[in-house]
């Protein structure tokens, strides 16, 4: 084992400077979010499964760390303080294109795949609901509404959705900023009239609010026109039905929408590393689903849908082996190898370091 490790380290020395840095900083780091949400425990589960399956045979180790979430994760990837990251789908698209809250294109950013979905939960007091859709926000006049915690992914995606629907939320609403649990408490106390909670369903904050308030609050539906408008710039969102009973006192199906969370990676992580981690996640999906309920909507056939950044060659290689159809915009020139192609651990992919800023 010692001789094998020496050989691998010597091989790594022949790589370009960024891959040298990756080798010296192993294990690879997966950045997640705060410990109170789904990102951290799922990230820990992914890292644990990958390490248990890959460390002995392939000398690949993955460790999960907590963070402030998607926006910080973009920075950690940029600065090579993390090599893998969990991101909300829109942040992956914003990162690749240098849009939204991200100032410049993050050209080192690649996708490993779409994982579990963030379901949009827009809640209003029932007394303010007319159509039961997002159009009800047009009728509000200065009421206090929680868009999310300040600078959070919920705030940024909430703003994006309102802007796409051309709802003048800055003037129609008195915006408040707090986390999911705080929002649930605030609506029960009568301090706000609604909240924006994008998360894997069922999410505890919505469960708490419906358990206490029942028919006094309403979870809004989306229309086809609204979905089309939201997807006009980035085709990330899809239908997500919440059957009756998903939440306490929810007596009817709610037709919401969702976008996938994305497992992202730096482009200079060796191809075989990404290939084996991708393969291990999907081959051990049942174990992952036992660990956290939010992952139960993960499906291999949706792994390349709703991605805003191109796929890493290692991920492409695995999905090709599984017969998945990959959209052309997810494959950069030179990244699509035959399904039976085999590369040494020290990948010959481009390892030029990126200096993009945010």
Please report the pLDDT score of residue 301 as a whole number.
Answer: 95
pLDDT at 218 over 90: yes
**Across residues 1-15, what is the average pLDDT?**
33
Can you tell me the distance from the alpha carbon of 352 to that of 355, in angstroms, rounded to the nearest whole number?
Answer: 10
Fold of 27-115+261-330: D-Maltodextrin-Binding Protein; domain 2 (3.40.190)
**Across residues 232-237, what is the average pLDDT?**
92
Please report the pLDDT score of residue 199 as a whole number.
Answer: 87
Please report the pLDDT score of residue 75 as a whole number.
Answer: 95
pLDDT at 303 over 70: yes
Please report the pLDDT score of residue 337 as a whole number.
Answer: 65
pLDDT at 342 over 80: no
Tens digit of each residue's pLDDT (9 = 90 or more) over 32-89:
987 767 889 999 999 999 999 999 999 999 999 998 889 999 999 999 999 999 999 9
Tens digit of each residue's pLDDT (9 = 90 or more) over 346-356:
333 333 333 33
- Domain residue ranges of the chain, discontinuous segments joined by +: 27-115+261-330, 121-221
Can you tell me the distance from the alpha carbon of 348 to that of 338, in angstroms, rounded to the nearest whole number?
Answer: 15
Please report the pLDDT score of residue 7 as a whole number.
Answer: 35
**Across residues 295-312, what is the average pLDDT?**
94
Could you give the angle at which helices 271-283 and 313-321 cross, rounded to 10 degrees? Answer: 40
Please report the pLDDT score of residue 34 as a whole number.
Answer: 77
Token pair for residue 222? Answer: 């989306």
pLDDT at 28 over 60: yes
Taking CB atoms within 8 Å and a gap of at least 24, the contacts of 350-355 are 350/267, 350/268, 351/15, 351/16, 351/17, 351/18, 351/19, 351/268, 352/16, 352/18, 352/268, 353/17, 353/18, 353/80, 353/108, 353/268, 354/78, 354/106, 354/107, 354/108, 354/267
Can you tell me the distance from the alpha carbon of 123 to that of 352, in angstroms, rounded to the nearest whole number?
Answer: 46
Q: Which residues contact 355 (CB under 8 A, 6 or more apart)?
A: none
* 27-115+261-330 shares its CATH topology with 121-221: yes
Q: Give the mean pLDDT of the chain.
A: 87
Token pair for residue 55? Answer: 């460390």
Fold of 121-221: D-Maltodextrin-Binding Protein; domain 2 (3.40.190)
pLDDT tier at 204, thresholds 50, 70, 90: confident
Please report the pLDDT score of residue 338 as a whole number.
Answer: 58
Tens digit of each residue's pLDDT (9 = 90 or more) over 153-173:
889 999 999 999 999 999 999
pLDDT at 97 over 80: yes
Helix or strand run (H / E) with residue 187? helix 180-188
DSSP class per residue in 74-138: HHHHHTTS-SEEEEEHHHHHHHHHT-TT--S--TTEEEEEEEEEEEP-EEEEGGG-SSSBGGGGG
Q: Is 182 helix (H, G, I), strand (E, B) or coil?
A: helix
* Portion of the chain with pLDDT greater than 90, in percent: 74
Please report the pLDDT score of residue 350 as a whole number.
Answer: 34
Please report the pLDDT score of residue 327 as a whole number.
Answer: 95
pLDDT at 357 over 80: no
Residue in this structure with the two tokens 């703003």, named with its chain if needed: 159
**Across residues 170-181, what is the average pLDDT?**
93
> Which of 12-26, 106-120, 196-210 is predicted with the least confidence, judged by mean pLDDT?
12-26
**Across residues 240-255, what is the average pLDDT?**
95
Tens digit of each residue's pLDDT (9 = 90 or more) over 103-153:
999 999 999 999 999 999 999 999 999 999 999 999 999 999 999 888 788
Comparing C-alpha atoms, which of 225, 223, 220 is closest to residue 254?
220
Can you tell me the distance from the alpha carbon of 195 to that of 146, in angstroms, rounded to the nearest whole number?
Answer: 5
Task: Count CA within 13 A, CB hemisphere, residue 310.
Answer: 18
């Amino acid at each position: 084992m010692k001789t094998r490790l020496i050989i691998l380290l010597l091989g790594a020395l022949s790589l370009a400077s960024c891959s040298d840095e990756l080798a010296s900083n192993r294990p690879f780091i997966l950045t997640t979010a705060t410990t109170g949400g789904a990102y951290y425990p799922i990230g820990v589960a992914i890292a644990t499964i990958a390490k248990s399956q890959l460390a002995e045979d392939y000398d690949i180790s993955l460790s999960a760390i907590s963070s402030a979430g998607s926006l910080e994760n973009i920075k950690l990837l940029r600065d090579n303080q993390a090599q893998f990251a969990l991101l909300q789908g829109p942040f992956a698209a914003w990162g690749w294109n240098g849009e939204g809250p991200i100032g410049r294109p993050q050209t080192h950013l690649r996708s490993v795949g779409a994982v579990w979905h963030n379901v949009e939960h827009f809640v209003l007091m029932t007394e303010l609901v007319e159509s039961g859709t997002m159009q009800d926000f047009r009728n509000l006049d200065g009421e206090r509404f929680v868009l999310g915690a300040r600078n959070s992914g919920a705030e940024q995606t909430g703003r994006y959705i309102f802007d796409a629907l051309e709802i003048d939320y800055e003037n129609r609403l008195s915006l408040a900023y707090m986390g999911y649990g705080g929002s649930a408490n605030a609506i029960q106390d009568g301090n706000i009239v609604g909240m924006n909670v994008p998360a894997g369903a069922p999410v505890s904050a919505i469960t708490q609010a419906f358990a206490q308030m029942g028919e006094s609050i309403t979870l809004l539906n989306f229309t086809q026109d609204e979905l089309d408008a939201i997807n006009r710039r980035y085709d990330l969102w899809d239908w997500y039905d919440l059957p009756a009973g998903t939440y306490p006192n929810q007596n009817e199906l709610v037709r919401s929408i969702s976008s996938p969370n994305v497992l992202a990676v730096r482009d200079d992580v060796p191809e075989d590393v990404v290939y084996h981690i991708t393969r291990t996640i999907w081959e051990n999906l049942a174990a992952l689903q036992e660990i956290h309920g939010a992952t139960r909507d993960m499906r291999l056939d949706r792994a390349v849908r709703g991605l805003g950044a191109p796929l890493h060659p290692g991920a492409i290689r695995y999905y090709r082996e599984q017969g998945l159809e990959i959209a052309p915009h997810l494959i950069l020139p030179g990244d699509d190898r035959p399904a039976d192609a085999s590369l040494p651990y020290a990948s010959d992919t481009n390892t030029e370091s990126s200096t993009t800023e945010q």
